Structure 1
Amino acid sequence: MNKLLIAFLLCAATAASAADIFTFSNPPGPHAVGLKVIQQYDRTRLYKAPIDLVTGEPVQGERTRPIQALVWYPATPESGSKPVTYRDYLETVPTEDAFTLSAAEVKRLTDNRIDDNAGARRAALLREVSRAMHAVRDAHPKAGRFPVVIYAPSYSAYAIENADLCEYLASQGYIVLSSPSLGAHTRAMTIDLDGAETQASDIAYLIGYAATLPAADTSKVGVVGFSWGGLANVFAAAKDERIRALVSLDGSLRGSPEFVDGGKDAAKYVTPARVAVPLLYLGARPRTVEELNSNVTPTHFSFMNEMKYSDVYIVSVLPMKHGDFSSYSIRMSQDGSFGDYTREEIALAHSWAALYTRHFLDAYLKGDAAGLTFVNNTPATNRAPAHMLTTSIRRNQSNPAPTLENFVRLLTANGFDRAIPLYKQMSMQPNALKLGPNEVFAWGLQLYRLNRLEQAREIFRLGAHLHPDLAFIVSALAETQAKTGQTREAFESYRRVIELDPSNADAMKYLKEHASSSS
């Protein structure tokens, strides 16, 4: 009996010990994982002012933007290799925008971080940070070509915010890069357009850096963003067609719609038509109508509802609050921080969010049929725990999106002489393409200079159709009509030019020379 009691107590102690630390439930994939910490400067952007904006003291040394990137990658297994601990990850935080810190200073700041978060669970947290992770520092990269995933952290957060997810994706055959969420000129991010565009530029920088890695396939890029990073990744996708898939971990795409709703504070280039890529939105427990309307100026705009040109998957992870999408947060939070759930239950839900992320990226970056089946299944079919997940799937309703790129493709396939009806067709779609006079004139002029006169003529014809009262566009049409043998059409166009600009010498000359042949 005593032996049974001792065995029971040991099992109970082991279970209690496991329950008070973070456990990532998903087994790693087929690849070993390497980790590199890269410190570079983006010298196209200034970061520091001449004086320190905190202390007011003169700034010494490099003032351009620091980019400390953590890179996880498929690696060759090495016997005797020692994986990093979670403390090793914590020690990358102090140097995120201060590359010259000494080892002693890094240790002091890391100790302080652990002490500040220890509280009543100090013993558990010390066990937590000493645990081995999966990645091996500077392991030899595995040969092959792998899709790229950029991880964009939440507001002012660290590159290691979701190290478990980043390691997991690398083990599944992705090269994953993450840099901290820094403001434009200070360590603190700012909740404004400048902040969102700054982090989007950091995402673009990381994609550019990934292109220098021999194993990285930057024709297949996905961006995973948590909270503020889940808005910045949408900004990045609006500018960079290499981004083929987006994952938003309870992203500010939902929480800060004023930056994407087309209003006075919004980025005008961030439109659903320009973000025509598949999106997986993993959200926290949905808020009640009362909570949604508790703000002084409630808003009901949903960018995701307007994404008619994308496959959109919305997965609500019911046990999770906003901060639970960060494995750093789950590790560092005190007991009792998870509402009606235990740390263990939240860790399991977090792992399921990571599983959906992996299968979604497999589907849309690797073309994996099993991944596509998984994200289209019901949670029950995927054997998710009961009452953990709900899903909503919105299919691409109107392909292709009305973008300039797709318009040019249609012209190439159907003929430039179809420019006006094809443009009309696109203009009837949501978030319609709109070509301004200078834009269409510059397009036609480029074709003219390439000696593609008939194509130039049709673009100028489209311009004259859209902007019939602008003499310079009608004049360009008339000139290309004349050069391509459309004499009568050119005569009529030049007559219109004279109506708009009676002193136009070219129009008067042409009308005089061709008056008899046009009568």
Structure 2
Amino acid sequence: MIRVLLASFLTSFTVLASAQEAVPATGFAGLQRGPLAVGWKLVQQYDYARTYKGEADLVSGEPTRGERARPIQTQIWYPARAQGPAVTYADYVRTEASEDDFSRSPAELDAALAAARKDVAQRIGAAQAAQVLGQRMWARRDAAALAGKYPVVIYAPGVGGSGHDQADLGEYLASHGYVVIASRNLGTRTLMMDINLDGIDAQMRDIQFLIAYAQGLPYADVSRLAVAGWSWGGMANVFAAERDSRIRALVSFDGTREPEYTKRISPYRVTVPWLYIQRRPSIVSELARQGIDTSFSLLNVLKHADVYQMVMYPMQHVDFSAAALRIQRPGYFDEYSRAEVEQAYHWTVRYVLEFLNATVKQQASARAFLDRKPADNGVPRHMATIQRTAAQAGPLPTREGFAEALRLKGFDQAAGLYRELQARDSTFVLSEMDINTWGYALMERKGGLDDAIAMFQFGTGLYPDSFNLFDSLGEAFDNKHDTAAAIASYRRSLELNPKNANASARLARLTAVP
């Protein structure tokens, strides 16, 4: 009994001492912690709407055992009370071992961490590895969240990237009042991402899953939502923004270099502010050797998004992953030193914060920061450039854009507006059924009868041989008690389709002699 009590006392003392340990103000790459303490949670959950494992193991062929749903190991950084066990960088590395297998025991996780320590030591030396993995981070594990609700940032790693890939970014943003949520860049059926459309869909749906998860967090404000990502994740998040209008801002670290995929994104459905930070440019011959198609860039075809394109000259593609940058071999740094690359990473993270403050929190001071030259913000000269392309005004050639324009200008302007939008994008087409359904929806709204008539008239002008649209127009006029116009519409419908029983019955009623 005494031993148990003593062990309990020592454990409690250790946790308390850990909780009271001072948090360093300066983190990796010279990042300065914000005014808020940071909490970190690791949540192991499944997306039961999707399978991850088939009936047979893809390696051994043996029957699959255990849960087959898609595992989403979720890491969350959030504003918190300054209490709880301290987190070291090794704690983040340890999570890699359970990213697609939640059944692993603590001993197995410890063994995986030991193997990681050995690998890191072989790369950068034992002393440096001990310093990297032993780094005291800003976060405290499972700390109580601060009161209030904070904007949400969903982060998507690149191919093979872990959920902690941008732990420094997560901690930094959380210290400035954001909730950051990430999971591994997981393939459709295996740990590694599939480099194809299925892989894009898998990560995009992971982003959607995390958005839904954030909705249930009491401290998360999903009405102020941004997505960020590196490389493949920086492309998948654009696909997510195309489909989910709740996303208010985009951040990409050197992503969207796959035009065979990004050409599928409608430039009229990505309308949110976008910060794109890229590595130093390659010469044309290098791009050709890498097989990169330079004939198309999604960034250049977007017309209705406020786009900030930033170049960080000291950085190469992999440098945007803090997890990779931490353990780069000394010989990796050539033209730019480690200090210069880390400084560029520092400013990358700083610009992400200011961009989110400007677009998600609507801070005027952050907008002014973005509009200044980098050197005027303290960025070393010749390190970075930034260029803004302002969003064009005018309605979007989409159903939603058309509806918004009709609300502002009036439904009687539908024909002219439709021609204007089709001139911008010939693929924007409304079918007879689209217009007919729209007209009936308007007719069911209080005070929407005149707009319904205008919509049906637009439809009969666009599809003059549609007996159904003339029939619907007749019904709308009938509801308005405009008998003459209703009779004319029903007669035209019958001319186009003499077998239209509805028009015949309604016309007989309207023309019957009392």
Give how far 1:515 is off: 7.4
* CA 1:512–1:213: 2 relative to 1, 3 Å: closer
Please point out which of 489, 497, 500 is paired with 2:493.
497
Contact 1:23/1:344, CA 8 A, preserved across alignment: no
Equivalence map 1:436-451=2 (5 Å): 436-450=431-445
Letter in 1 for 2:247: I
Question: Which stretch shifts more, 418-427 or 299-308?
Answer: 418-427
Whole-angstrom CA distance in 2 between matches of 1:440 and 1:60 = 51
Whole-angstrom CA distance in 2 between matches of 1:248 and 1:468 = 47
Give the total of aligned pairs.
485
Whole-angstrom CA distance in 2 between matches of 1:247 and 1:28 = 21
Partner of 1:48: 53
Give how far 1:455 is off: 3.0
Give how far 1:370 is off: 1.4
Question: Does residue 116 of the first structure (1) align with residue 119 of the second (2)?
Answer: yes
Give how far 1:120 is off: 4.9
Whole-angstrom CA distance in 1 between matches of 2:199 and 2:177 = 31
Unaligned runs of 5+ in 2: 1-26
Equivalence map 1:479-490=2 (5 Å): 479-490=475-486
* CA 1:501–1:118: 2 relative to 1, 3 Å: farther
- CA offset digits 1:475-508 (Å, max 9, x no partner): 2223223332344443443344334323223344
Question: Does residue 30 of the first structure (1) align with residue 38 of the second (2)?
Answer: no
Give how far 1:510 is off: 5.2
Give how far 1:438 is off: 2.7
* CA 1:296–1:207: 2 relative to 1, 3 Å: closer
Please point out which of 367, 373, 395 is paired with 2:362.
367
Whole-angstrom CA distance in 1 between matches of 2:294 and 2:485 = 52
RMSD between aligned residues: 2.3
Letter in 2 for 1:284: R
Unaligned runs of 5+ in 1: 1-21
Residue 498 of structure 1 aligns to a residue in which SS?
helix
Question: Does residue 127 of the first structure (1) align with residue 131 of the second (2)?
Answer: yes
Letter in 2 for 1:191: I
Partner of 2:308: 313
Question: Does residue 426 of the first structure (1) align with residue 421 of the second (2)?
Answer: yes
Residue 374 of structure 2 aligns to a residue in which SS?
coil
* CA 1:208–1:341: 2 relative to 1, 3 Å: same
Partner of 2:79: 74
Partner of 1:13: none
Partner of 1:19: none
Give how far 1:461 is off: 2.5
Question: Which stretch shifts more, 289-298 or 216-225?
Answer: 289-298
Give how far 1:315 is off: 0.2
Partner of 1:17: none
Please point out which of 218, 225, 241 is paired with 2:222.
218
* CA 1:62–1:416: 2 relative to 1, 3 Å: same
Give how far 1:400 is off: 4.2
Please point out which of 71, 74, 83 is paired with 2:86.
83
- CA offset digits 1:3-45 (Å, max 9, x no partner): xxxxxxxxxxxxxxxxxxx932120110010001111111111
Contact 1:495/1:507, CA 8 A, preserved across alignment: yes
Give how far 1:349 is off: 0.7
Letter in 2 for 1:417: D
Equivalence map 1:247-326=2 (5 Å): 247-251=251-255, 253=256, 255-261=257-263, 266=264, 270-294=265-289, 298-326=293-321
Letter in 2 for 1:221: L
Residue 330 of structure 1 aligns to a residue in which SS?
helix
Question: Which stretch shifts more, 171-180 or 409-418?
Answer: 409-418
Question: Does residue 387 of the first structure (1) align with residue 382 of the second (2)?
Answer: yes
* CA 1:26–1:439: 2 relative to 1, 3 Å: same
Whole-angstrom CA distance in 2 between matches of 1:159 and 1:215 = 21
* CA 1:65–1:297: 2 relative to 1, 3 Å: closer
Contact 2:123/2:328, CA 8 A, preserved across alignment: no
Structure having the larger proportion of residues in helix: 2
* CA 1:134–1:459: 2 relative to 1, 3 Å: same
Whole-angstrom CA distance in 2 between matches of 1:105 and 1:275 = 44
Partner of 1:103: 106
- CA offset digits 1:404-442 (Å, max 9, x no partner): 333323333343333333333333335774323332222
Whole-angstrom CA distance in 2 between matches of 1:26 and 1:400 = 41
TM-score using structure 1 length: 0.88
Give how far 1:62 is off: 1.2
* CA 1:105–1:65: 2 relative to 1, 3 Å: same
Contact 1:68/1:97, CA 8 A, preserved across alignment: yes
Contact 1:319/1:388, CA 8 A, preserved across alignment: yes
- CA offset digits 1:295-320 (Å, max 9, x no partner): 66834111111211111000000011
Give how far 1:449 is off: 4.5
Residue 336 of structure 1 aligns to a residue in which SS?
helix
Contact 1:272/1:431, CA 8 A, preserved across alignment: no
Residue 356 of structure 1 aligns to a residue in which SS?
helix
Give how far 1:127 is off: 1.8
Whole-angstrom CA distance in 1 between matches of 2:139 and 2:508 = 79
Give how far 1:367 is off: 0.6
Partner of 1:16: none
Contact 1:153/1:227, CA 8 A, preserved across alignment: yes
Contact 1:24/1:164, CA 8 A, preserved across alignment: no
* CA 1:216–1:400: 2 relative to 1, 3 Å: farther
Residue 24 of structure 1 aligns to a residue in which SS?
helix
Higher relative contact order (CA 8 A, sep 6+): 1
